[in-house]
Structure 1
Amino acid sequence: METIPTLKPAKAEIIKKAKAYISQLFEQQLPSRLVYHSPKHTAVVVKEAKALAEAAGLDNADQEALILAAWFHDAGYVDTYDGHEYRSMEIAEQWLTEHGYPPDRIALVKDIIKATHRDEPRETELQQLLVDADMSNLGREDFFANAELLRTEWETTLGKTYSNTEWAETQLNFLLGTKYYTDAAKERYKEQFKANIKEQRGKLKKTAKKKKKKEEEAEATFAEPKRGIETMFRTMYSNHMKLSDMADKKANMMISLNAVLMSLIITYFGAKLGSKSAALSNVGLLRNPVISIPMGILLITALGSVVTAILCAQPDVTSFKWLKRSPQIATNRRVNLLFFGNFSKLSLDDFQHGMTEIMRQKDALYTNMVTDIYYLGDVLTRKYRLLRLSYTIFMVGLILTALSFGIVLLYKS
């Protein structure tokens, strides 16, 4: 009996042409946002389909149909996303018909492709083999890398966004809800498939812990102090101390400057009223009594400025007479046991009791720190209000002095 020679499916001419056609089709028309369903994915599915077909012992004709279906199974993505399988069947039918492929074999290839749709039954061995090859990524080491590509593709194509926890849950549910149909696929992927499920569970636990930690940090109360709260208080105390120091330095500068001016002016008036020394007479001040007007304005200016500067630099201590009678010293939000102006009114026993309560209750500690910062700010407000007044008086006084001196010069000319 004469035997009909057969070709191995991997070397069949129709498969080579199908590969070239799909590669060119994807290169020209496949949307760039499809980072998972890419030419690489199709090539991997074809490779896995070949391996499963050989492991299942398919004859050459069925292997050829399976591999052709693998090459065309995602071709429909060039036109549509959801339901692309049906468009893939149309593209495969049109191309195979143009290349004279037998109608019954075309129908078989289409039937295999149709099974990759999530709602279609997978009844024949060829259908199950292609579905297993398409889902082979679940049982490979690159599962997690491919999963991130799929996540990106869904975000850009379907507008679906997932948090890390939501994505981990979705992937775990998908793994647990997926099964391999053929013995060849179960044997080929079972070990890595189990490992991926285990690792995905671990990832879900990690993301859940991170989410819980973030929620705890966002909802942290005074009973659970955090480094950020402590840093905030430390920074606020430091800023208040710096601002207070700056105010005192500026006030001291105004006191020194105006004290010198007042000394000179008083010396002038004293000399004018009490004596006619040669030194002052040579200057000519005593011969011009009208010049006492700008000098008087300057004296008033220096006096007003120095008084407000002294009030600014003057120590201010806040205290409360009723602290001794307060039944809840540590938790009273108006009491600040951290400031001597408050606790100096207490007896030693009351102070020790209050400090002990503060150390036991973190909310009491923060209450006192907040109160302390509030009164520090209150003192700073008073300091800077007086300091601004001192500078304003000095500036206005100098302007008036200069104007009056100019008027005097015009008057004398």
Structure 2
Amino acid sequence: MNLTQQAENFIHKLFKDKLSPSYTYHNLRHTIDVVTAVAILSEIEEINPEDKEILMVAAWFHDAGYINGCDNHEECSVVIVTDFLKNNEKSSDYIAKVSGLIRSTTLGFVPTTLLEKIIKDADFYHLTSDKYTSTCNALRLELQANHQKTFSDSEWNLENINFLSNEHQYYTDYALKTWQPLKENTIKLLQIKLNNMELNNTKESKKKNKEEKPVRAIDTLFRITLNNHTSLSGIADSKANILLSVNAIIISIALSTLIPKLDNPSNAHLMIPTFIMLMSSVVTIIFAILSTRPKVTKGVFTRQDIENQKVNLLFFGNFYKMPLEEYQWAMNEMMKDKDYLYNSMIKDLYFLGVVLEKKYRLLRIAYNFFMVGIVLSVISFVVAFKMIGN
């Protein structure tokens, strides 16, 4: 068994026994890819058998240090390969060459010799593969597991584009001629993917805004309608108050001035006009009071009512007798259910509208009585005085 085969067997067993499963990228699969690429480049560059063996051993051991963690793994790999080569009675010069090639795979290292260029290019052979996406996703998982680095899909795509475009380069003639165009195709695919992500994000953002706009419009609708109902209710109460005040004054004047004079037979002609005026004022007051009289409700509800969505918790008359804890529970239940919440607001507006209709209907009757009563009173007073004059 030659040294390359021994190195292969050693790494297979080493990774199987000691490499953490969290290294989803720097594992045996990646090592085999690098060895395969080294073999290809060695044949094309016509590397002599001794140097090819050095390259192959370095390729097998270049990530062996990951069994001790990712920090300074190249030096750990050098320690492991040194022990392996010493056991195989290799010279210190041979060990130094292998160690130098392993160190040349360090990120950011610029190779100078052909052997360094070969192993450096082989380490990034996966950039040309049609399986690049799955390979770089394995690296993404590894970074997340061992470095706690997390990336969104677009961030990771941008990170890869930046690395391939600005930080990485091939060095051997064959890699520059054959692998570089494949890498550029990978960059184009990543750029298309990134553009699609940005387009989808834009669409999602627009869709979200469109979904939010109706909700805001609904909230505005409820707010404006409630304000209108409240204003109309206030106007109705003011109108009723005017009627009450005016007619109370009329009755007070009638009771203090006209009624005492009716005992005198000479004032008998004032009896009917006074009666009409007083009756119209009394009826007007009654309808004005009815328009502002509050409706008394029971003020309690049950949990069954809440579960069946039969209670409008936005109206105080439905809960004023309930304990605070029960009311809090009921409100929380209502706020969990969007339909229940909106239906409660709709019911609140509906019943406010019903109350407003009753208020304005009674007020219309009151104003009609007041108007007709005043007209009849004036006419009857005029008629009465003319009859006395004749």
Instruction: Measure the CA separation in 1 of the matches of 2:31 and 2:142.
Output: 16
Q: Match of 2:190?
A: 200
Instruction: Measure the CA separation in 1 of the matches of 2:154 and 2:123.
Output: 26
User: What secondary structure, in the 3-state scheme, does the structure 2 residue paired with 1:35 have?
Assistant: coil
* Rg larger in structure: 2
Shift in alpha-carbon separation, 1:381–1:76, aligned structure 2, 3 A: farther
Q: Match of 2:200?
A: 210
Q: Match of 2:348?
A: 378
Q: Alpha-carbon deviation of 1:381?
A: 6.9
Shift in alpha-carbon separation, 1:119–1:232, aligned structure 2, 3 A: closer
Q: Match of 1:106?
A: 95
**38, 63, 73: which is aligned to 1:49?**
38
Are the aligned partners of 1:180 and 1:186 in contact in 2 as well (CA < 8 Å)? yes
Q: Match of 2:149?
A: 160
Are the aligned partners of 1:141 and 1:192 in contact in 2 as well (CA < 8 Å)? no
Q: Match of 1:190?
A: 180
Q: Alpha-carbon deviation of 1:212?
A: 2.7
Q: Alpha-carbon deviation of 1:120?
A: 3.1
Instruction: Measure the CA separation in 2 of the matches of 1:113 and 1:308.
Output: 87
Q: Alpha-carbon deviation of 1:233?
A: 8.3
Gaps of 5+ in 1: 1-11, 221-225, 238-306, 310-371, 384-413
In terms of fraction of residues, the more helix-rich structure is 2
Q: More displaced, 154-163 or 209-218?
A: 209-218
Q: Alpha-carbon deviation of 1:379?
A: 3.6
Q: What TM-score, normalized by structure 2, do the two folds share?
A: 0.56
Q: Alpha-carbon deviation of 1:144?
A: 1.1
| CA shift digits 1:273-298 (9 cap, x unpaired) | xxxxxxxxxxxxxxxxxxxxxxxxxx
Q: Alpha-carbon deviation of 1:206?
A: 1.2
Q: Match of 1:369?
A: none
Instruction: Measure the CA separation in 2 of the matches of 1:27 and 1:43.
Output: 14
| CA shift digits 1:343-367 (9 cap, x unpaired) | xxxxxxxxxxxxxxxxxxxxxxxxx
Are the aligned partners of 1:89 and 1:110 in contact in 2 as well (CA < 8 Å)? yes
Name the aligned partner's letter for residue 211 of structure 1: N
Shift in alpha-carbon separation, 1:376–1:80, aligned structure 2, 3 A: closer
1:71 to 2:60 alignment: yes
Shift in alpha-carbon separation, 1:229–1:186, aligned structure 2, 3 A: same
Identity in percent: 29
Q: Alpha-carbon deviation of 1:68?
A: 0.5
Instruction: Measure the CA separation in 2 of the matches of 1:130 and 1:79.
Output: 22
Q: What TM-score, normalized by structure 1, do the two folds share?
A: 0.53
Instruction: Measure the CA separation in 2 of the matches of 1:26 and 1:188.
Output: 32
Q: Aligned residue pairs: how many?
A: 238
Please list every run of at least 4 consecutive aligned residues from structure 1 whose deviation after the TM superposition is greater than 6 angstroms. 231-234, 372-375
Shift in alpha-carbon separation, 1:88–1:381, aligned structure 2, 3 A: farther
Q: Match of 1:403?
A: none
User: What secondary structure, in the 3-state scheme, does the structure 2 residue paired with 1:123 have?
Assistant: coil
Name the aligned partner's letter for residue 32 of structure 2: A
Q: Match of 1:38?
A: 27
Name the aligned partner's letter for residue 73 of structure 2: H
Aligned CA-pair RMSD = 3.2
